[in-house]
Structure 1
């Protein structure tokens, strides 16, 4: 993912698709397709295996929740002059692939038809509308094995060090402030034979990932395709970023989320989670035909799955590492109900903040024996907004959510939200519920612990100062007094978060297998911990905050 730093994080990112300002951003999604030799898969499009790329926009639509800023794909067709050809545009999948116009969509699919394809959806934190940041990135070369394209989900915590190393070498230049570009150069360097002993064999794709894996600190999933028709799909050694893959009837598919394969027609039992530090390669086998292999390219000393995938990011229809997103969110709601102390009366209702909070809200309401009502309606057709500034943020929220007075008036509302990052949306919603909904009381319940630390692994919250919770929460402090102060600041009657230990119970993973850095300050990588200390030093020094990459001395 890009590490763009040409605008303040305290401005509204201009590429939002009507989502909550409170919600964490800066996620991406990858997808890959390959029709292997053999009988034509029934899942193949009518045009045949040579045009399996036609299925890719459908997959990207299913992971559109992970990014709406830009989308693109690269296809491989062995009979084409451009063995690899990349198409990418700003905007969502339907917009970029002209899906509402049959003739234009067909022309695109025919032009970029291929037996193999990779795709990407992107969501950035800030910066300008720049197609140069859209993925896949393509690296052309005279030698086919060195001509490749790739898509990347995640963020390199040691981006700065890698960038400085590149720039320190004679006449080297980096065009974009993007860790995706740094990763592209690293992949190219590992694919070349310049750093190998004389006479050593040319590095394979798995060799490339072995070399790359030793150099990266951070979270990443990668889908790569080269001009020889070789494909690689890899997941970071800590398993932070999810990858689902499947093989059915000679059709291979992989994506950031399982729902993309399920809706393609894959049977549930044929969909698997790629292991941490594992890579899938499709390359020529001994018989000269392409074959699929799964290999460990890097050791996995521990797991650190991003818990926010289950809480917020992932499509509720997906399963990540064998745990249903819906069931995890349902369990979070049950956890909220188990710690609820609010007196319940006949006018009490539970209201989810659309849409990712609904499963938790419904489960909480069921456990408490009170109605769960859709008292907030979200306008799904308001389109992208290009506005900045505090007043504009407020205006944007009011255009996205409409309280239903007929449902809410005079009610004691338990407002369930999946997370509070910056608090902009929550403040606006509470005001709207009182002014428009005419509620009697508002009690905010958050299906997540307080976010007290930045993320350096791909989520848009890289400074301490932009976060709502840190000024109220300190070590050893009584949570109840902190929550009371936070509720007063927001304008709510009460506020309660889930304790940290609830996350592991709801996701049904050991706490040691989850990355919970943003709610504990304990980072799973050395570079992440170093950047956190820099972020803390920026606050305590009173020197003002910049994005941590800028203040990291790199």
Structure 2
């Protein structure tokens, strides 16, 4: 994606099923689980660079000794900094003789992260800022192990304000910082109630005080806790939690919007936001990594028992298609195939755009997540060209026109050409405060391969995975590409036009920043239909006030075809103040082709405006209200 887009977080959990000494004897280190957590997080580094955090729960710690630990960082390269510091502490303990790796018991006693239950989080900030206070995992502490809670997640809720009001109604004093804090307090409240219910029952049975804590731990029903806490959650979410007694849980939203996968054998139970990292880290076969069932909570008790039960009524499955287009790494076998299919399904539009001029067309991609789709497009084009050549050879042969010169021109000089035309050179540092200077530096983020295009003759086709705001196209990429002086620049998006805000994980809440929306509004104004903008504003206000699940913003787009909006986008991004007179065309994937290429992830609300929950409709209408009122407030 050429535009910077903050988005999904990543989670990781490693729950060891054997004593630490087992891993020391089999793998030569008592930190086997700790290193697996780091690898799971590193393999999901694409899911968050704004911050990272890890937590650990140790089993069977003597009274008076700490049993839960946490480390977080929001500096640059946070994951590396966390593990470097923790491993540095471990090595100091070993060097001083306080911990002996061959005796895992000493590692567990001395090293904070020498425990059986490990939790990790990679953060992309969508709300709550970028400081330490909004970095997961969140902690809730108590002298009772079963009331201690560490929580992290990959989610956005559409109704955080409502949840906070509920907390106030319960008598709490929530801090209005993030939806994570609201969830922590909500889960914590019902965790406390579960604890108190069991405690009162055991006291009534006159169970000795020393045995009460252990019995509460055995009886604690985290499925019931989550069912009560999550009754009114609206959004896309995967939550991972660790309780101080050693129990753990994973929760996935009823629509399956956010992804979660798990792997289990007799040594470990592990969870991650993507499937491929689990396969790589644990050398697991494809069929042994399972997808978590939407609307379920998986509970891992301290004794190792794993259960999965529904906690909410199921909703139609609408898994996020952006996960497949962009967010997840492309080394998952299914995602790799889907991205190639997305590229291949653009072939017809591209062929029409270059007017079947194979020999004078150069194909490339805008790094780096579009590369796989680019391979799919080029493969489809070459297959199409082979069919054309075959048909022409048969025709010419039957007509007696097949000559060496004809073959030469037909086959050797008229094929799609692939070049690495553009590459990312440097990353603009955010400490540059002045906007003009930032924009000037941004124009040099990308480099081009001079001479890769025949000036004034070649079409240049560049594949991008998605075009959200078009900012980088306007201010950087297209201006740079004009230096090659192609006859025409064609930017091809493997995703359809992004028209509506996402409120389930992606930081796309300001509808006025979407280039598709900008183009539609310009078309409305240019065709004398401005009264529609005020009409939609009035309808959106009424819908928000009444709590209606209807998307009135669709009316902005309904007056025009997707092709008309794409043509207007092409005019918007056309580079100005450059010495170039070629054409620019922006091509988008169709929604129909998206679903054909990615059949099992039907979540498409950012393209179609069909939201899977009531909160989504409230958000889209509020986003338009904010736009019309020129407010920069978040719509959720």
TM-score, scaled relative to structure 2: 0.75
SS at match of 1:124: coil
After the TM superposition, which parts of structure 1 deviate over 6 Å for at least 4 consecutive aligned residues? Answer: 41-44, 194-198
1:167 offset after TM fit, Å? 3.7
Number of the residue aligned with 1:295: 309
Structure 1 residues 458 and 45: CA distance shift in structure 2, 3 A: farther
Match of 1:312 among 309, 326, 342: 326
Give the SS at the match of 1:454. Answer: coil
Distance 2:169 2:325 in 1: 41
Would you say 1:506 and 2:597 are equivalent positions? yes
Q: Which whole-Å CA distance do the structure 2 matches of 1:69 and 1:385 have between them?
A: 12
Distance 1:388 1:206, change over 3 A: farther
How do 1:93-104 and structure 2 match up within 5 A? 93-99=78-84, 103=88
Q: Secondary structure at the match of 2:443?
A: helix
Matches within 5 A, 1:199-210: 203-210=220-227
Change in CA separation of 1:545 and 1:72 when aligned onto 2, cut-off 3 Å:
closer
Is the Cα–Cα contact under 8 Å of residues 252 and 295 in structure 2 kept in the other structure? yes
Query: Structure 1 107/364 Cα, relative in aligned 2: closer, same or farther at 3 Å?
Result: farther
State the shift of 1:174 in Å.
Answer: 3.0
For the Cα contact (< 8 Å) 2:462–2:491, is it kept in 1?
yes
For residues 102 and 199 of structure 1, the distance between their equivalents in structure 2, rounded to whole angstroms, comes to 44
Kindly state the Cα deviation for residue 97 of structure 1 after the two structures are TM-superposed. 2.5
What CA deviation, in whole Å up to 9, does each residue of 1:19-50 have, x standing for no partner?
Answer: 84x243232000000111489469975323x7
Check 1:390–1:345 CA distance in 2 against 1; reply closer, same or farther (3 A cut).
farther
Give yes or no for the alignment of 1:280 onto 2:298: yes
Aligned to 2:523: none
2:496 to 444, 449, 460: 449
The 1:25–1:302 alpha-carbon spacing in structure 2 relative to 1, beyond 3 Å, is: same
> Which segment is superposed worse, 106-115 or 296-305?
106-115
Name the CA shift for 1:306/1:106 in 2 (closer, same or farther; >3 Å).
farther
- Alignment partners' CA distance in 2, 1:472 and 1:76: 52
Deviations 1:289-329 (A, max 9, x none): 3212222222322101011000110011136xxxx111111
Q: Is the 8 A contact 1:84 1:148 kept in 2?
A: no
2-side partners of 1:73 and 1:51: how far apart?
Answer: 15
Which residue matches 1:11?
none
Shift of 1:107: 5.6
Match of residue 161 from structure 1: 162
| Superposition deviation, residue 530 in structure 1 | 1.3
1:507 Cα deviation after fit? 1.0
Tell me the equivalent position of 1:237. Answer: 254
* Cα offset, 1:418, TM superposition: 0.9
Instruction: Please say if residues 73 and 79 of structure 2, whose CA atoms lie closer than 8 Å, have aligned partners that are also in contact.
Output: no
With 325-334 and 401-410 compared, the bigger mean Cα shift is at 401-410
Q: Is 1:248 matched up with 2:331?
A: no
1:537 is displaced (CA, Å) by 2.8
1:376 matched to 2:361: no
Q: Which has the larger radius of gyration?
A: 2
SS of the equivalent of 1:364 reads helix
308-317 or 347-356, larger mean C-alpha shift:
347-356
Name the SS of the counterpart of 1:315 in structure 2.
coil
Deviation string, structure 1 residues 434-461 (Cα, Å, up to 9, x no partner): 13x3433211111111111101111111
Displacement of 1:465: 0.8
Q: Output aligned runs, 1:64-143, within 5 Å.
A: 64-78=45-59, 79=61, 81-90=65-74, 91-99=76-84, 103=88, 106=91, 110-125=111-126, 129-143=130-144
Q: Offset of 1:219 from its aligned partner?
A: 0.7
| DSSP 3-state at the match of 1:263 | helix
From the superposition, tell whether residues 486 and 114 of structure 1 become closer, same or farther in structure 2 (CA, over 3 Å). same
CA shift digits 1:205-253 (9 cap, x unpaired): 1111212331200011011111111111121111111001001232111
In the alignment, the residues of structure 2 paired with residue 385 and residue 545 of structure 1 have an alpha-carbon distance, to the nearest angstrom, of 21
Change beyond 3 A, Cα 1:361–1:528: same
Q: What is the CA-CA distance between 1:482 and the residue it aligns to? A: 2.1
| CA distance in structure 2 between the aligned counterparts of 1:507 and 1:242, rounded to whole angstroms | 15
The separation in 2 between residues aligned to 1:94 and 1:192, in whole angstroms, is: 32
2:281 aligned to which of 260, 264, 272: 264
Does the aligned pair in 1 maintain the 2:119–2:242 contact within 8 Å?
yes
**Gaps spanning 5+ residues in structure 2: where?**
94-106, 203-215, 383-415, 521-556, 575-582
- SS of alignment partner, residue 307 of structure 2: strand
Correspondence for 2:616:
528
CA gap of 1:399–1:126, structure 2 versus 1, over 3 A, is farther
Q: Deviation at 1:404?
A: 1.3
Compare relative contact order (CA 8 Å, sep 6+) and give the higher one, 1 or 2.
1
Of stretches 393-402 and 56-65 in structure 1, the one that deviates more from structure 2 is 393-402
> 2:558: which partner in 1?
475
Deviations 1:157-197 (A, max 9, x none): 11111123324554x43335200000100110121227979
Q: More displaced, 455-464 or 392-401?
A: 392-401
User: 1:249 is paired with a residue of what secondary structure?
Assistant: coil
How far is the alpha carbon of 1:106 from its aligned partner?
A: 4.6
Question: Per the alignment, do residues 302 and 383 of structure 1 end up closer, same or farther by CA in structure 2, a change over 3 Å counting?
Answer: same
- CA shift, 1:396, in A, is 4.8
1:432 is aligned to 480
CA contact (8 A) 1:360 1:447 kept: yes
Asked if structure 1 preserves the Cα contact closer than 8 Å seen for 2:13 and 2:120, the reply is yes
Q: CA deviation at 1:355?
A: 0.7
Deviation at 1:389, TM superposition (A): 6.1
**Total equivalences in the alignment:** 514
TM-fit CA distance, 1:62: 0.7
Tell me if 1:485 matches 2:579.
Answer: no
**Post-superposition CA distance 1:495-531 (Å, at most 9, x none):** 111111111111122xxx6221111111110111112
Q: Distance in 1 between matches of 2:86 and 2:234?
A: 43
How far apart, CA to CA, are the structure 2 residues paired with 1:358 and 1:261? 23
- CA 1:361–1:390: 2 relative to 1, 3 Å: farther
What are structure 1's unaligned runs of at least 5 residues?
1-18, 550-554
The aligned residue for residue 177 of structure 1 is 177
8 A Cα contact 1:351 1:415, kept in partner: yes
CA distance in 1 between partners of 2:133 and 2:27 (Å) = 31
Cα 1:159/1:94, change in 2 over 3 Å: closer
Give the drift of 1:480. 2.4
CA, structure 1 residues 208+364, in 2 after alignment: closer, same or farther (shift >3 Å)? same
The CA distance in 1 between the partners of 2:277 and 2:370, in whole Å, is 22
Q: Determine whether 1:354 maps to 2:335.
A: no
Query: Secondary structure in 2 aligned to 1:121?
Result: strand
> Normalised by the size of structure 1, how large is the TM-score?
0.86
Q: Which of residues 542, 547, 550 is equivalent to 2:634?
A: 547
